[in-house]
Chains A and B, each alone.
Chain A
Amino acid sequence: MDAIILQILNGLDKGSAYALIALGLTLIFGTLGVVNFAHGALFMIGAFCAVTLQRILSISFETVDPTKTDFLGNPSTVDTPYIVHWFGPEVGGGIIDWSVPLAILFAIPIMIAIGFIMERGLIKHFYKRPHADQILVTFGLAIVLQEVIKYYYGANPIQTGAPEVFRGSFDFGVLLGFDPNVIIYPYWRLVYFAFAALIIGAVFAFLQFTTFGMVVRAGMADRETVGLLGINIDKRFTIMFGLAAAVAGLAGVMYAPINAPNYHMGMDFLVLSFVVVVVGGMGSLPGAVLAGFLLGILESFASMTQVIDLIPGINQIIIYVVAIIVLLARPRGLMGRKGVMEE
């Protein structure tokens, strides 16, 4: 029992990332009908927003510290970040420590702006083109974004720490009444899951309970009719694209402490996220979220030693196996609407 709970918990953080990216992909596909291969790159840019903010906050000036000397006897220099200088070590150090959560605020405008530019500048021209062309052009865009990031940040992963409070792990099992030291779980992963749940909840609430969301849902169901009612649906869809980009970016920001950001993390996640979207059903938002968590948890179950002993290598391929079975047995995915891209 404790092993099962541990695997479910382990699957949650990856599942959250899959679910968030898949949610964004589905938003874009459901509204604009575009298959966006650059979505993984948006996730990666989000993670690099966290890196950038941390770097900006840590910009320092050098002072000579006369009390300390290095091994040659020269006075050693100390780097003091401006923030610490301005706000004092307590507040300033705290701000730097909390740079990843702060990066959420930093990333939202950036990601929405990138989403707007992408949609207005490029994707707009591809609505009428076949899906293959959309895949290809966004694939090209993903390469470009990836290379730009690589040029400025280098090819190596960049460690980006979570705030001090959330570092380390805690004994989750004790809370549930198990023996101590059975279920040890890192704080930050729990934070990530809670954050993902919050974002997903917010997106659904936005679509469900606001007039704007209602119009967007109507547009997803029948774009033409909504347009004929005199509503500028294109403008709303552009905003939705920005929103989807922001969701992917936020998923990336918060993922930075779990996995040190590198320039190809987007592509790694994208392939799996597409599988997630297809398993959940193209165009179905709840399907994307459900499939994201399901596949994340399934993946972590498949990496248990007992399972690997039984079927070697299953942890590497489980997601693809599930995808193939689902696609062949139920082409519209778990929760896809009948008739949407079923062929």
Chain B
Amino acid sequence: MFGLDKKDTTLLLIVFVLTMCAPFLLNPFPGNSAMAQFNAGYPDLMQRFVIYGIFAIGFNILFGLTGYLSFGHAAFLGVGSYSAVWMFKLLSMNVLPAVILSVIIAGLFALVIGFISLRRSGIYFSILTLAFAQMSFALAYSVLTPITNGETGLQLSLNDPRILGESVSASGGIPFPSLFGLDMRATHVMELGPWMFQFSAGYYFCAVLMLLAFYLAIRIFRSPFGLMLRAVKSNQQRMNYTGLNVRPYTLAAFVISGMYAGLAGGLLAAMDPLAGAERMQWTASGEVVLMTILGGAGTLIGPVLGAGFIKYFENIFSKINDTVLHQWFAFMPDGIEDLLVTVIHPFVGKGWHLTLGLMFMAVVIFLPGGLVQGGQKIGNLFRRKPAADHTTSAAKTPAE
């Protein structure tokens, strides 16, 4: 189906079902139970899942296929956000032109940066992309203030022209982003006993785009172009000796992954119409690297899993505080309870970055293929098929 083989179709269908049913799946605990705080089924977080999923899928097209580790991908995310907000300011509050513009601008930006950075490889490429991203960040903060509004961040105002739309909404406020009249914030709430499921228009818009992005990524992975990129990763020198100029291929991969980042940035702005320079900082670039590696670089589903995982932890894990911990261990004797809470305390709540760092290190050390490889290992354990491993591990091992 859709020009995919059976395995990929199944994967795409699974992802389709998962994203479409996410409001149910992410809300497994009844609203009045103690576990309700682990529910992730609210629109804001679900939007983040799919948007950062797009970002990570795009990063994976570059890093997973070609092995070029870019440490400046957040620059494209930021550029996408800025262009989307400008489209809201100048044209209309329709999200479609905004997202299209952010993809185009981010693509052009990636073309320029990629053209220069890809002259070098290995660590030099990482440093070059890092330098470009930090430059964009510094400029967005200082000189480019007329375009980026500096530290405050770019926001909508009542004085914006919005040629095709309205400067001021009927109620006198700033209008909200919409898709041909469908308000992105529109949420249908379905109450089912103690459960409350929220279906947000914004989430489904992002989810559809994520599915498209995912489908495109599968096609790229399975295409001759994708094969060429893998060849670059496994032995670039040999490619050069066969008389082939690999730069157009790597540049194309770089631009495509920059456009994915631009799309993610545009969607971030479409869900919440403001853009700040901190989206371009190198820590944001580091985050997408974490997501991709954690999920499994070079695999199709890995980056999406990694993005969901990190965003879930960031929003849910960080909410656990001492009171919650005491509730959990209330059934134990007092001494043990206090001890457990003291031991766990540094790793949750504000300290969740520590858990993230430890987990990330563990993944890099023991599971270079990320969570996906972990899942496969567990699967093999139960299936007891020792021979099944060699094809996957051969595809995963990063070559020199």
Question: In the complex, are the beta carbons of B123 and A135 less than 8 A apart?
Answer: yes
Question: In the complex, are the beta carbons of A135 and B69 less than 8 A apart?
Answer: yes
Known: A317-B139, A323-B127. A140 touches B364 (CB 8 A): yes
B341 within 8 A of A: no
Report the bound CA distance from A274 to B71 in whole Å: 12
Question: In the complex, are the beta carbons of A312 and B132 less than 8 A apart?
Answer: no
Q: Is the interface of A mostly helix, strand, loop or mixed?
A: helix
Question: In the complex, are the beta carbons of A141 and B361 less than 8 A apart?
Answer: yes
Residues of A within 8 A of B138 (CB): 313, 316-317, 320
Of B127, B361, B399, which is within 8 A of A327 by CB?
B127
Question: In the complex, are the beta carbons of A133 and B128 less than 8 A apart?
Answer: no
Return the CB mask of B122-134 against A: 1 if under 8 Å, else 0. Answer: 1110111011101
Report the minimum CB–CB distance from B366 to chain A (whole Å). 10
Question: In the complex, are the beta carbons of B400 and A147 less than 8 A apart?
Answer: no
Report the bound CA distance from A143 to B362 in whole Å: 13
Residues of B within 8 A of A131 (CB): 122-123
Report the minimum CB–CB distance from B364 to chain A (whole Å). 4
Question: In the complex, are the beta carbons of A275 and B122 less than 8 A apart?
Answer: no
Of B132, B135, B368, which is within 8 A of A133 by CB?
B368
Question: In the complex, are the beta carbons of B123 and A313 less than 8 A apart?
Answer: no
Binds A, one of B53-61, B100-108, B113-121, B174-182: B113-121
Report the minimum CB–CB distance from A154 to chain B (whole Å). 10
Question: In the complex, are the beta carbons of B124 and A144 less than 8 A apart?
Answer: no
Interface size on A, residues (CB 8 A): 40
Question: In the complex, are the beta carbons of B289 and A136 less than 8 A apart?
Answer: yes
Report the minimum CB–CB distance from B281 to chain A (whole Å). 10
Of B143, B283, B293, which is within 8 A of A312 by CB?
B143
A200 within 8 A of B: no
Residues of B within 8 A of A140 (CB): 357-358, 360-361, 364
Report the minimum CB–CB distance from A333 to chain B (whole Å). 10
Binds A, one of B153-161, B348-356, B375-383: B348-356
Question: In the complex, are the beta carbons of A275 and B127 less than 8 A apart?
Answer: yes
Minimum CB distance partner of A133 in chain B: B364
Residues of A within 8 A of B289 (CB): 136, 139
Residues of A within 8 A of B358 (CB): 140, 144
Of A142, A144, A312, A343, which is within 8 A of B121 by CB?
A343
Central interface residue in A132, A141, A150, A324, by most chain B CB within 10 Å: A132
Report the bound CA distance from A317 to B139 in whole Å: 8
Residues of B within 8 A of A135 (CB): 69, 123, 126
Of A125, A139, A271, A341, which is within 8 A of B122 by CB?
A341
Q: Which A315-341 residues have a C-beta within 8 angstroms of B?
A: 316-317, 320-321, 323-324, 327-328, 331, 341
Residues of B within 8 A of A327 (CB): 120, 124, 127-128
Residues of B within 8 A of A331 (CB): 120, 124
Q: Which B326-384 residues have a C-beta within 8 angstroms of A?
A: 346, 351, 353-354, 356-358, 360-361, 364-365, 368
Question: In the complex, are the beta carbons of B357 and A144 less than 8 A apart?
Answer: yes
Residues of A within 8 A of B122 (CB): 131, 341, 343
Residues of A within 8 A of B286 (CB): 139
Q: Which A144-188 residues have a C-beta within 8 angstroms of B?
A: 144, 146-148, 150-151
A137 within 8 A of B: yes
Counting chain B residues whose Cβ lies within 8 A of the other chain, the interface size class is 35 or more
Question: In the complex, are the beta carbons of B128 and A147 less than 8 A apart?
Answer: no
Residues of A within 8 A of B134 (CB): 271, 317, 320
Residues of B within 8 A of A275 (CB): 127, 130-131
Minimum CB distance partner of A35 in chain B: B123
Report the bound CA distance from A141 to B286 in whole Å: 13
Report the minimum CB–CB distance from A319 to chain B (whole Å). 8
A66 within 8 A of B: no
Residues of A within 8 A of B400 (CB): 130
Return the CB mask of A84-110 against B: 1 if under 8 Å, else 0. Answer: 000000000000000000000000000
Q: Which B377-400 residues have a C-beta within 8 angstroms of A?
A: 398-400
Q: Which B27-67 residues have a C-beta within 8 angstroms of A?
A: 67
A278 within 8 A of B: yes
B142 within 8 A of A: yes
Question: In the complex, are the beta carbons of A143 and B353 less than 8 A apart?
Answer: yes
Of B121, B141, B282, which is within 8 A of A271 by CB?
B282
Minimum CB distance partner of B356 in chain A: A143
Question: In the complex, are the beta carbons of B364 and A324 less than 8 A apart?
Answer: no
Report the bound CA distance from A125 to B362 in whole Å: 13
Residues of A within 8 A of B353 (CB): 143, 146-147
Report the bound CA distance from A282 to B346 in whole Å: 38
Question: In the complex, are the beta carbons of B142 and A313 less than 8 A apart?
Answer: yes
Residues of B within 8 A of A328 (CB): 116, 119-120
Residues of B within 8 A of A341 (CB): 122-124
Residues of A within 8 A of B121 (CB): 343
Report the bound CA distance from A197 to B146 in whole Å: 43
Known: A137-B365, A312-B142. A324 touches B128 (CB 8 A): yes
Residues of A within 8 A of B293 (CB): 136
Question: In the complex, are the beta carbons of B141 and A316 less than 8 A apart?
Answer: yes
Known: A271-B282, A317-B138, A328-B116. A132 touches B398 (CB 8 A): yes
Residues of A within 8 A of B144 (CB): 313
Residues of B within 8 A of A147 (CB): 351, 353-354, 357
Report the bound CA distance from A161 to B130 in whole Å: 34
Q: Beyond the given A271-B134, A313-B143, please list 13 additional residue pairs across the A-B interface where CB-CB is below 8 A.
A: A125-B365, A130-B67, A130-B398, A131-B122, A135-B69, A136-B360, A137-B364, A143-B353, A151-B346, A278-B127, A317-B134, A327-B127, A328-B120
Sorted nearest first, the 7 A-B pairs with minimum C-beta distance are A313-B143, A143-B357, A316-B138, A140-B361, A147-B354, A144-B357, A320-B131
27 contacts between A and B (CB under 8 A): A122-B361, A122-B365, A131-B123, A132-B69, A137-B361, A137-B364, A139-B360, A143-B356, A143-B360, A144-B357, A147-B357, A148-B354, A151-B351, A267-B283, A271-B282, A274-B127, A278-B124, A278-B127, A320-B132, A320-B138, A321-B135, A323-B131, A324-B132, A327-B128, A328-B116, A331-B124, A343-B122
